[in-house]
Amino acid sequence: MRTAEPSGSLADSIRAAGLKVTAPRLAVLRILDQAPHSTAERLFATVRAELPGTSLQAVYGVLAAFTGAGIARKIEPAGSPALFERRVGDNHHHIVCTRCSAVHDVDCTVGEAPCLTPSTASGFTVHTAEVTYWGLCPDCQAA
């Protein structure tokens, strides 16, 4: 059960990130809640339904502002356009269906920050570890 987020709290999130509150930003942030792992194009189509004047560039601008301010995260699975989600700050990963491209979150639980310490890092300082799982979603297993 997902309770609708009060629109005031969306505005608060945006303001708290040091950004001006605008209609496109409110719309993108709300849609990102309802449909995580959306592409810019998909967000644009949905935003447009309620704010017909909105441009695709505006959506890219909003997403750049959000990711820059740390209130949204951009993920780029191989072969897919970038996807965006609101869930930030936790070390979580993704599983992508190789057949239908469905994406789900995966909490990384092998210890705490699993795989975060590669055995041989060739002298690199590791900041983050990003894991992408590939497989078949329940629907595609059936088919």
Partner DNA sequence: CAGATGTTTTGATTGACTCAAAACAACTGT
Partner DNA sequence: ACAGTTGTTTTGAGTCAATCAAAACATCTG
Among 62, 72, 96, 103, binds DNA (CB under 7 A): 62
Rounded CA-CA distance 121/100 in Å is: 34
For position 115 contacting DNA by CB under 7 A, the verdict is: no
Contact between 119 and 76 (Cβ < 8 Å):
no
| Binding partner at 95 among a copy of itself, DNA, none, C-beta below 5 to 8 Å by kind | a copy of itself
For position 132 contacting DNA by CB under 7 A, the verdict is: no
Q: Which residues bind a copy of itself (CB under 8 A)?
A: 74-76, 78-79, 93, 95, 97-98, 104, 106-110, 114-138, 141
User: In the complex with a copy of itself, which residue's Cβ is closer, 15 or 104?
Assistant: 104
Rounded CA-CA distance 25/14 in Å is: 8
Mark 16-55 with x for binding to DNA (rule: CB under 7 A) and - for no binding.
---xxxxxxx-------------xxx---------x-xxx
Distances (CA, A) of 100 to 76, 90, 123: 16, 26, 38
| Binding partner at 3 among a copy of itself, DNA, none, C-beta below 5 to 8 Å by kind | none
Pairing of strands 83-85, 73-75: antiparallel
Residues in the chain: 143
The residue among 93, 70, 68 whose CA lies nearest residue 13 is 70
DSSP label at residue 52: T
For position 64 contacting DNA by CB under 7 A, the verdict is: yes
Could you list the residues that contact DNA (CB under 7 A)? 15, 19-25, 39-41, 51, 53-58, 60-62, 64-65, 76, 81-82
